[in-house]
Structure 1
Amino acid sequence: MGKRRRVAERRKTKQPAVLGGVIAVAVVGGAFGAYSLYGSGAAAEDGITATTRKAVRTGPLSAAEVSMASTAFLTAWQSGDVTRAAAATDDTAAATTLLTGFGKDAHISAVTLTRGKPSGADVPFNVKATVTYKGRTKPLAYTSKMTVVRRAEDGAALVGWKASVVHPDLQDGDRLVTGESGTPPITALDRHGGELTAAKYPSLGTVLDGLREKYGKTAGGKAGIELRVVRKAAAKGAQKIPDKTLLALSAGTPGTVKTTLSPVLQADAERLVAAKPKASVVLMRPSTGEILAVANTSHGFNTAFQGSLAPGSTMKVITASMLFEKGLASPDKPHPCPKTATYGGWKFHNDDDFEIKNGTFKASFARSCNTAFITQAKKLQNDDLTKQAQQVFGLSRNNWAIGVPSFDGSVPVQSAAQMAASLMGQGGVRMNPLNMASVASTVQSGSFHQPYLVDPSVDHRTLATASRTLSATTLAQLREVMQYTAAAGTAAEAMAGLGPDYGAKTGSAEVDNQEQPNGWFTAWKGDLAGAGVVQEGGHGGTTAGPIVAALLKAGSSG
C-alpha cells in the first residue's frame, strides 16, 4: 500500500501547475503530454486495459476535461512545441501550419499565455509576446479564446481548431506575417478634411483597411514594417477582404485619401447601431451616389457593404416597379391579398395569415402583403425580376466600384416556387444595406447613381450604370406606394414627422435556424436615402426602422 501511494504522489507532481491562470511550463513532464494528448502513459500504469481505453466517451465535457485539454494546448504552444500543440487540436494539419507561421512568418517570440475562467467549453486566454524584425522590436498583447470539443471517433477532449484561436482577427485560411508592408499606410479624411480613425469611428476599421489596400500605393505614402493579417485568396468573382494591420514596428509615411463620409452622420450611425445587436446601416445622397455614413454593430466584417442576406419585403420595391411596368398592378386598383397563395408546390402565407378583402395594391404594399405578389407569379417569366434589378436598379452585375470592397446584390434567375419567393425577397435573392439604400435612392432620384465612398476623379475609375430608367408614370406609381407606406403603412411609426417628401418600405426575412427574422428597412427623405438591417431582430419597422429614420432626420436638419 505504501509503495502504491508513493507512486501516485510522484505521478501527481508531474501535472502542470496553474497559478492564477498562468501556465507554468517548467513543471510539465512528458507523462502529462502523453496522457492528455494520446490517452496512454499514466493511465496504462493504473492497469486500465486496452479494451477500456478504446471505449468512446460521449456526452457533455466535464470541467476537468475542458481544463486538461486547454492546458495541454496552451502549455505546448507557450513552450514552442508546435507538434504537441497541434496534436491537442482536432485539426492537426491546419494547426501546425498556423502555429509554425506564428513564429516563422510573424516573427513572434517570448510567448506567455494566461488562461482565463472557462465558461462551459469556451476558454478565454491572454497572449503576451514580442515581435522582432530586422532589429526592430515591439511588445504584442491581445485576448483570444478556444472551444474544447469531443472528437467523434474516440471521444477525446481536444481544442476545436479555428484560425481565430491564434488571433481573433484571423479567419480560416489567413496568415500572420511581419515584414515590410507591400502597401503604404493612408490617412483617410472625411468630406470636410477631418481625419477618420477606427478609434473614433469603430465601424470604419474594415473600411480603412480597404481604402489602404486600394489607394495606398498611389496616395503618396511610404510603407513601414508591420505585423499584419494576410487574407486568404477570394473565391472567383468574390471581393477579397482587405489585409489588416495588427502592430506597426515602423509606421511608415501615410498618403492621404479623401472620402465622402460626413463626420456628424458617421458618429450618429455608430451610436445608433451600437444600441442593437447585429445592426448595420448605410446613408447616401441619391442625387450623386455619395455615401455619407456606414456602421455595423460588429466591427470584424462590414455587413453594410459586403453582407449577403435575403432582404425580405424591402425587395418588393423592385418587384412592384416590375408589376407596374407590366400592367399587373396599379396603386389604386383592386388587387388580391388572400391569407395564403400557392405556387410551384409551395404554400405562401402572410404574417399571421392576415388578408385584405376588396383592397387596392397600395394597401397591400403598405401592409406588406406577401400573397399580393405571389398571385402574380404565374404571369411572369423566370428572368423578369433579374432583368428589372439589373437594368433599372444597377444590381446583380458585380461591377460596382465604390472605393472599397462591396457586394453588389444578387438576383439570380429562378423557377417555380423559388421564383415566387424571390418576388418577396426570399429564395436566392441576396442584398445588404448598401444595395437597399441604393434602391431607395433610385426611386427618389428617378435613376440609378452607383454609390461611392471615394470620388471617381481620385483614380479615374468608371462607375456602374443602369441600362434604362423607369417611365414617368411607373416612377410616380412607385413613389406613391412608398410614400403611403411611410405615412400610413408598416413604416409609419418609424417615419413619423419626416414627411411629406419621403417614402419607405419595411421587411422581415426568414432565415433557417433563427427564432426571429432579420428586420429590414429602406427609406428616403429629401436628397437622403438609407437602409438598415437588424439580424434576428424581428419586424423591420420596429428594429431597423428607427435607426434609418433617425439618420434621415439628422441629415435633414444638419
Structure 2
Amino acid sequence: MNQYFERRYIIGGIFITLILILLGRLFYIQIIDDRYALSASKNVIRQYIQYPARGPILDRNGKILVTNELVYDVFVTPKEIKSFDTLEFCKLLGIDRTEFNKRLAKAIKYSPNLQSPFEKQLSPQLYASFQERLSEFPGFRVGPHPIRNYPDSVAAQFLGYIGEVNDNVIAKSGGYYRLGDYIGISGVEKAYETVLRGQRGVKNMMVDSKGVQKGSYANGEYDTLAVAGEKLTSSLDIRLQKLGEKLMKNKVGSIVAIEPSSGEILAFVSSPGYDPNLLVVGHNRSTNYNRLNDNPYKPFLVRPIQANYPPGSSFKPLSALIAMQEGMITPQTTYYCPGYYTAGNRRIACFHGERHGLVTLSSAVAESCNGYFDMVFEKLINRNGPKQTDTTFTLWRNNVAKFGLGGRLGLDLPSEGTGLLPKASRYDKMYHRGGWRSSTVISLGIGQGELSATPLQLANIEATIANHGFYYKPHLIKSIGNREIIKKEYTIKNYVGIDPQYFEPVIDGMQAVVDHGTAAGSKIPGIIMCGKTGTAQNSHGEDHSVFVAFAPRENPKIAIAVVVENAGQGSSWAAPIASFIVEKYLRDSITRRPSGIDPERYMNANLLPDMSRYISQQKRRAQLDSIKKARVDSLKKAAAIQSAAYKNKKPAVSNYLSAIKRKDDE
C-alpha cells in the first residue's frame, strides 16, 4: 500500500515537471523570443542580397580612375508571382510581352524559389515610379546595385571591365557567385577580382502576403553587412595617361613608360582605345561591345602586352652589350661602312643606303649603322665555326632572353604575350639541321627577321640599360587598401649578365642619338634623354615608327617605348611623342622644342591605316560563311528527305543531292 502511494507521488511529480517545462517554453516563445510573433499574421521573411561596392582604383597620386555609382535593378522570384496587369508592367519598364516572357522563363530556369535579376539600371525617375507601384506586382522587388563609373574615361585596356557572371563561372565558383553577380572580365578588374569584389551581405525583411515590406526582421539581428572591396592604388600617372591617349588619338600603336628604380608602370597606352563607360552593365552594353568588337582597328587588343613588333634598330644597343660581354668587340672596335654589309652571298644595305664610313660602337649606335651590327652579330654566331652555328646561336638567344624577350615578364595583368625570340630548332625545320648559317639569319642582328617584342618588353630593355644591368619586373599596382603590398617578385633585381662598365659606351651613343643624331628634333631643352630610333619593317604596309629612351641620363626617372604603326621612321612620330611624355613626367609641363615641334600637331594628326581592304576581306569571308552554311543546310535537308524516303520505301533522292552538289560547285 505504501509502495502504491509512493509511485503515485512519483508519477504526479513527473507530470507536474512536464507541465512546468511546457509552460516555461510557452512563456519563452510568447514573451522572450519574438521570432514567432514576427512570423505571425501571414508575414514571411525574405532574404535580400546586399551587393558591395567594388573597390575603387586610383592613380599613383591618389586621383580616381574608377569609382562606383548606385543604380537600381528589378528582381523577380517566380514562385511568388500572382496575377497582375502584365501589359501595364511592361509599359512601365519599356519592354514588350515577348521580352517579359523570355526573361521570366530564364528566371524560372534558374530557380522558381530564388530571386534573379529581371531588369537592370533603372533611371532615378523610373525607379521612383516603379517603387510606388511595386505592391501591384507581387513577386518583383527593386534593389540597389553599385556599378562602375570612370570619371576621366581613360586607361580602358589597363583597367578592364566587368560583366555579369555566366553559368560556367557560377559552376566553377564553388557557390560564391550567383545569377546577377558581376565579375572582372579583363584588365585589373580581372587580375585583382578577389580583392576588388568585396563580400556580399544579406538583409532579412518582413513582407506581407502582397509582398509589401513591413520592416527588418528581428531588428536586423540576423543581417550581415556587405563589405566593400578594397582600394587599389595603381602605379599609373593619370597626367601621362591622358597626354599619351591624346597624342595617340587616330593612330594605332602603344606607349609604355616605366620607372626604372621600381619597375612601376607610369603610362600604359593602347591605341585606339575606347571609353570604358561604354561597357558599364546596362541597356546599351551589348550594342557597344559588339560595335567595339567589330572595329577593324581592334580596340580590345591590349597592344602594350599583346601586340608584337620587330624591335628594329632599338635592338642594336642590346646586341652591342652582349657582344662586349662575350669579348667579341670593345668600345673601340671599328667598322668601315660603305653603305652596305656583305654576309655570305648577301648584301644588306644600311638605311636608305647611307654610307657611315669609319664608325666605333658609340657612333654606330648614334648613326644606326646596320653594317656595324650585322658585323657584331656574325662575330657572335661564328665564333665557334660554322659547324657550331646551332650551339652558338642558342648561346646568343639565351643572352637575349635575359633581357626579358621571348617570354612573359610576369605583369600583374592577364593575357600577357611573349613576343618571339626564335630558337635554333625553328631554323633547323626551315632549312634542315646544318643547312643554315649566320648569314641566313643576319637580319636578327638589327632587330628584324623573325624577332618580335611587345612594347612592354621594349620599355623594360630601356629600364635595364638605365639601371646598368638589371630590372625590376614591371607591375601596375602599388598598394592594396592602406597597405603597401606588392608581390615579392616585383621587389627583386633581375640581372641580365652584363658588367656595368659596358653600358657607358652604349649610353654615349644613345645620348648622341638625341643630341645630334636621328632623334635630334625631339631633344628636350635642359634634359639629357638617351634613346634609339627604330623603323620596324612591316610586310602589310608602311613601316612602324619606333622609339625607346630613358631620362635623365644620371639617376633615370623614366624609361619609355613608343610604337606608332604604319607611321614610317622612328624619328618622325614615335620620338616626338616619347619626348612629350618624358618632359611631362619630369617637369609637369611641355616646352617648345628648338626644332619647332609641338604636341598639338601630333594630337591632331590622323595616321589610321586604310582598312577598306580589310573590310572587303571581312565581307567576302562573311559571304563565304553564308554560302557554306546554306550548303550545310541543304545537305541536311537532303539527308532528312533521303532518310524519310528510305523509311517509307520511296525512291531515293540521289538526283536531288546531285543537283545541290552541282549548284555548290558552280
3-state SS, counterpart of residue 341 of structure 2: strand
Contact kept in structure 2, 1:505 and 1:521, CA below 8 Å: yes
Contact kept in structure 2, 1:494 and 1:542, CA below 8 Å: no
Deviations 1:183-235 (A, max 9, x none): x9997xxxxxxx866724445454882212121123352589xxxxxxxxxxx
1:393-432 matches, within 5 Å, as 393-414=403-424, 416-417=438-439, 419-432=441-454
Distance of 2:395 and 2:524 partners within structure 1: 35
Distance of 1:424 and 1:203 partners within structure 2: 31
Among candidates 376, 389, 393, match of residue 382 of structure 1: 393
Letter of the 2:459 partner, please give it: A
Contact kept in structure 1, 2:195 and 2:229, CA below 8 Å: no
Contact kept in structure 2, 1:390 and 1:397, CA below 8 Å: yes
In the other structure, the counterpart of 2:476 is 453
In the other structure, the counterpart of 1:525 is 551
Displacement of 1:420 in angstroms is: 1.7
In the other structure, the counterpart of 1:219 is 196
Displacement of 1:462 in angstroms is: 2.4
Contact kept in structure 2, 1:410 and 1:429, CA below 8 Å: yes
In the other structure, the counterpart of 1:279 is 253
CA 201–221 in structure 1, closer or farther in 2 if over 3 Å, else same: same
Deviations 1:491-523 (A, max 9, x none): 2211342533x2100101112131x11110000
Distance of 1:397 and 1:465 partners within structure 2: 17
Displacement of 1:444 in angstroms is: 1.0
Contact kept in structure 2, 1:186 and 1:255, CA below 8 Å: no
Displacement of 1:383 in angstroms is: 2.6
3-state SS, counterpart of residue 336 of structure 1: strand
Contact kept in structure 2, 1:311 and 1:426, CA below 8 Å: yes
Distance of 1:424 and 1:508 partners within structure 2: 11
Distance of 2:344 and 2:118 partners within structure 1: 66
Displacement of 1:340 in angstroms is: 2.0
Letter of the 2:398 partner, please give it: K
Letter of the 1:406 partner, please give it: E
In the other structure, the counterpart of 1:360 is 360
Deviations 1:101-128 (A, max 9, x none): xxxxxxxx9899xxxxxxxxxxxxxxxx
> Given the alignment of the two structures, is residue 489 of structure 1 paired with residue 512 of structure 2, yes or no?
no
Distance of 2:373 and 2:335 partners within structure 1: 10
Contact kept in structure 1, 2:191 and 2:413, CA below 8 Å: yes
Distance of 1:301 and 1:254 partners within structure 2: 27
In the other structure, the counterpart of 2:285 is none
Contact kept in structure 2, 1:305 and 1:407, CA below 8 Å: yes
CA 262–196 in structure 1, closer or farther in 2 if over 3 Å, else same: farther
Distance of 2:488 and 2:523 partners within structure 1: 36
Contact kept in structure 2, 1:185 and 1:212, CA below 8 Å: no
Among candidates 568, 571, 591, match of residue 538 of structure 1: 568
What runs of 5+ residues in structure 1 fail to find an aligned partner?
1-108, 113-128, 141-183, 188-194, 225-250
3-state SS, counterpart of residue 376 of structure 1: helix
Deviations 1:348-401 (A, max 9, x none): 22111111122333222212111111123332231344222223x233333523
3-state SS, counterpart of residue 240 of structure 2: helix
Distance of 1:550 and 1:370 partners within structure 2: 28
Displacement of 1:347 in angstroms is: 3.2
Letter of the 1:412 partner, please give it: P
CA 475–363 in structure 1, closer or farther in 2 if over 3 Å, else same: closer
Q: Which runs of 4+ in 1 moved over 6 A?
A: 109-112, 129-132, 184-187
Displacement of 1:337 in angstroms is: 2.2
Displacement of 1:293 in angstroms is: 0.9
Displacement of 1:268 in angstroms is: 1.2
> Given the alignment of the two structures, is residue 307 of structure 1 paired with residue 270 of structure 2, yes or no?
no
Displacement of 1:282 in angstroms is: 0.9
Letter of the 1:361 partner, please give it: L
> Given the alignment of the two structures, is residue 509 of structure 1 paired with residue 536 of structure 2, yes or no?
yes
Deviations 1:448-483 (A, max 9, x none): 121111238646352475344422320212211111
Letter of the 1:366 partner, please give it: A
Letter of the 2:445 partner, please give it: L
Distance of 1:510 and 1:278 partners within structure 2: 15
1:150-161 matches, within 5 Å, as none
> Given the alignment of the two structures, is residue 290 of structure 1 paired with residue 250 of structure 2, yes or no?
no
Contact kept in structure 2, 1:282 and 1:304, CA below 8 Å: yes
Letter of the 1:424 partner, please give it: I
From the two aligned structures, give the one with the greater helix fraction.
Answer: 2
Distance of 1:498 and 1:403 partners within structure 2: 36
Greater CA deviation, 199-208 or 422-431? 199-208
Displacement of 1:270 in angstroms is: 1.2
Distance of 1:345 and 1:444 partners within structure 2: 38
Contact kept in structure 1, 2:313 and 2:368, CA below 8 Å: yes
Deviations 1:27-78 (A, max 9, x none): xxxxxxxxxxxxxxxxxxxxxxxxxxxxxxxxxxxxxxxxxxxxxxxxxxxx
Distance of 1:473 and 1:387 partners within structure 2: 21
In the other structure, the counterpart of 1:338 is 338
With normalisation by structure 1, the TM-score equals 0.57
Letter of the 1:271 partner, please give it: K
Contact kept in structure 1, 2:409 and 2:473, CA below 8 Å: no
CA 271–498 in structure 1, closer or farther in 2 if over 3 Å, else same: farther
Letter of the 1:508 partner, please give it: T
Letter of the 2:581 partner, please give it: L
CA 347–138 in structure 1, closer or farther in 2 if over 3 Å, else same: farther
Distance of 1:254 and 1:270 partners within structure 2: 28
CA 317–130 in structure 1, closer or farther in 2 if over 3 Å, else same: farther
Distance of 2:96 and 2:344 partners within structure 1: 63
Letter of the 2:118 partner, please give it: R
Distance of 1:111 and 1:323 partners within structure 2: 74
In the other structure, the counterpart of 1:16 is none
In the other structure, the counterpart of 2:243 is 268
Contact kept in structure 1, 2:188 and 2:413, CA below 8 Å: yes
Count of residue pairs brought into register by the alignment: 354
3-state SS, counterpart of residue 266 of structure 2: strand
CA 533–472 in structure 1, closer or farther in 2 if over 3 Å, else same: same
In the other structure, the counterpart of 2:153 is 199
CA 357–438 in structure 1, closer or farther in 2 if over 3 Å, else same: same
In the other structure, the counterpart of 2:119 is 137
3-state SS, counterpart of residue 416 of structure 2: coil
Percent identical among aligned pairs is: 22
**Structure of higher RCO (CA pairs closer than 8 Å, 6+ residues apart):** 2
1:57-136 matches, within 5 Å, as 134-136=116-118
3-state SS, counterpart of residue 377 of structure 1: helix
In the other structure, the counterpart of 2:498 is 470
3-state SS, counterpart of residue 471 of structure 2: coil
Letter of the 2:198 partner, please give it: G
Contact kept in structure 2, 1:418 and 1:428, CA below 8 Å: no
CA 280–311 in structure 1, closer or farther in 2 if over 3 Å, else same: same
Displacement of 1:333 in angstroms is: 4.4
Distance of 2:117 and 2:97 partners within structure 1: 18
Greater CA deviation, 538-547 or 358-367? 358-367
Letter of the 1:389 partner, please give it: V
